[in-house]
Amino acid sequence: MTPTPTPAAGPVENDTGGIGGHPRGLTTLFFAEMWERFSFYGMRAILTYFMVLAVAEGGLGYDDRKAAGIYGTYTMSGYLLSILGGFIADNFIGARRAVLIGGIVIASGHFTMALDSEITFFIGLALVAAGTGLLKPNISTMVGSLYSPADARRDAGFSLFYMGINLGAFISPLVCGYLAQGEGWRATLGRWGLDPRSSWHWGFAAAGVGMTLGLIVYVLQRGRLAHVGNVPPPEADGSRPWGRVGLVLLGSLALITAMWFSDAYKWIVYLLFGLQVALILFFAFRPSQESKRIAAILVFFFAAEIFWAIFEQTGSSIALFADRLTDNRIFGWGFPSSWWQSVNSVWVILLAPVFAWLWIRLGPKQPSSPVKFALGLLFVALSFAWMVPAAKLTAGGLISPLWLLVLFLLQTVGEMLLSPVGLSTMTKLAPPRLLGLVMGIWFLAAALGNKLAGVVAGEFKSTNAGELATFFWHQALAVGVCTLVLFALVPWVRKLMGGVH
């Protein structure tokens, strides 16, 4: 990629050559992120199945709990390393180059997983997590940089970007899932004289091909992004904050390690929760408005963490439910269980325009962000309450796919209320000098939520309908209580936000 080109002359408002009258750079970032998410979700769709599959059948032969734990640690690591990835871009290499390097690391990770061994599996996962940390936060920052702060197209630009994310997330489980699990493809491998049990590695490789396509788009169209994500200027004395990057790296690795150990030592999780509550109280009762806003950010953090802890079980407990307990046929035609991973994205693509319309329609009468967050929590709680009768029905055999279809609908409504709203609320509440950090904190909530999802999903029982119903009911109840608490806290949180809606 060209090193630090001169910024484009003239305001970016003049550039309307991209999709829907947006800057042309948005089209490039849209497709680059679409392919990155293609690789992320395609691989994720088959990860748990591969881990729990017997060794004789080509898998790793892990039990459900171990697989859910590894899955949670891996997804957590990608989001957690976003803090480091954002910091490196902000202080050393700039977002544009960080995205390029991140993409290359991700693709090498997927190709490493294409090799058939346990060690390459883990090296590949580590590479994908590291690359995601470098790419994900910085590609989002670049979207923001395409618009001047006053540009009215900004929010719509982010919505289009979210559609790109979900387009990739929709297509990839279909492709990677078919390659990994599809009977037709396995038969083809057999005809080629290859071992049909290696099909999983074709799925992982396909994820790498997707990321490579994203990189090609990104490099070919780099000219459109020449004015954003440049290498930041060094400090006045020419130095770079090497000491601090070491600190962020150590902090991130320490947190990942602590969370890894939380599989064996549950008290680490409780300690972390306690710490969060203490921090909220500490900031809320300090006199400055800035501290009070930080307390509000931490309340949102807490709610988001709980939300993702349910939502992100899609790749673990819900994936196992889809595989073992659901009748995966439409009109008599069977499909691979990994295709379920596409359903959330289909709902996003259908619902995002509805919500965009709703917010414009309601204008100033729309609910405040803490209310939207509480509603988001309510919908994920409802989604698991909905699974209680579904779980009971599994006693009589495979259940209708309609159950999971509605589960994903409820969860996606929750996502629409919390995820994009959270992103914009964070940017509004953050003190300007802490913007990058606050963004990192937002992704940290996703990181911890993903880990928690893995911990909770470890309790999944597919062999006993009664226990399975309890699994869903306990979680619905716990999140239901959090929802009530958040609703009760709304007036307080609004006060903490000090005028920000």
| Site residue total, ligand GLN (CB under 6 A) | 5
Element housing 123 (H / E): helix 118-145
Please report how close the Cβ of residue 330 comes to ligand GLN at its closest, in angstroms: 25
Please report how close the Cβ of residue 158 comes to ligand GLN at its closest, in angstroms: 11
Cβ neighbours, 10 Å, residue 60 = 16
Please report how close the Cβ of residue 449 comes to ligand GLN at its closest, in angstroms: 7
Buried b / exposed e along 447-461 (16+ C-beta atoms within 10 A): bbbbbbbbbbbbbbb
Q: How far apart are CA 345 and CA 351, in angstroms?
A: 10
Q: How far apart are CA 340 and CA 345, in angstroms?
A: 10
Verify binding: residue 29, ligand GLN, rule CB under 6 A. Answer: no
**Residue 156 burial by Cβ neighbours in a 10 Å radius (0-12, 13-18, 19+):** middle
Please report how close the Cβ of residue 164 comes to ligand GLN at its closest, in angstroms: 10
Q: How far apart are CA 363 and CA 459, in angstroms?
A: 43
Please report how close the Cβ of residue 30 comes to ligand GLN at its closest, in angstroms: 13
Verify binding: residue 419, ligand GLN, rule CB under 6 A. Answer: yes
Q: Which residue's beta carbon is nearest to the bound ligand GLN?
A: 446
Indicate if the alpha-carbon torsion angle 452, 429, 485, 472 is positive or negative. Answer: negative
Indicate if the alpha-carbon torsion angle 108, 109, 115, 119 is positive or negative. Answer: positive
Verify binding: residue 165, ligand GLN, rule CB under 6 A. Answer: yes
Q: Who contacts 176 (Cβ-Cβ below 8 Å, separation ≥6)? A: 42, 43, 45, 46, 203, 204, 206, 207, 338
Nearer of residues 445 and 482 to ligand GLN, judged by Cβ: 445
> What one-letter code names the amino acid at 409?
L
Per CB under 6 A, contacts with ligand GLN among 76-115 are none
Hey, is 484 helix, strand or coil?
helix
Nearer of residues 283 and 308 to ligand GLN, judged by Cβ: 308
Verify binding: residue 310, ligand GLN, rule CB under 6 A. Answer: no
Binding mask 362-391 for ligand GLN (x = CB under 6 A): ------------------------------
Please report how close the Cβ of residue 230 comes to ligand GLN at its closest, in angstroms: 24
Verify binding: residue 446, ligand GLN, rule CB under 6 A. Answer: yes
Q: How far apart are CA 276 and CA 70, in angstroms?
A: 24
Verify binding: residue 70, ligand GLN, rule CB under 6 A. Answer: no
HSE (CB half, 13 Å, CA atoms) of 357?
Answer: 5
Find out whether 6 and 186 touch, Cβ atoms under 8 Å. Answer: no
Verify binding: residue 181, ligand GLN, rule CB under 6 A. Answer: no
Please report how close the Cβ of residue 71 comes to ligand GLN at its closest, in angstroms: 15
Please report how close the Cβ of residue 388 comes to ligand GLN at its closest, in angstroms: 26
Nearer of residues 162 and 384 to ligand GLN, judged by Cβ: 162
Verify binding: residue 132, ligand GLN, rule CB under 6 A. Answer: no
Verify binding: residue 342, ligand GLN, rule CB under 6 A. Answer: no
Please report how close the Cβ of residue 344 comes to ligand GLN at its closest, in angstroms: 8
Find out whether 85 and 102 touch, Cβ atoms under 8 Å. Answer: yes
Nearer of residues 12 and 447 to ligand GLN, judged by Cβ: 447
Verify binding: residue 280, ligand GLN, rule CB under 6 A. Answer: no
Note the residues at the interface with ligand GLN (CB under 6 A): 37, 165, 308, 419, 446
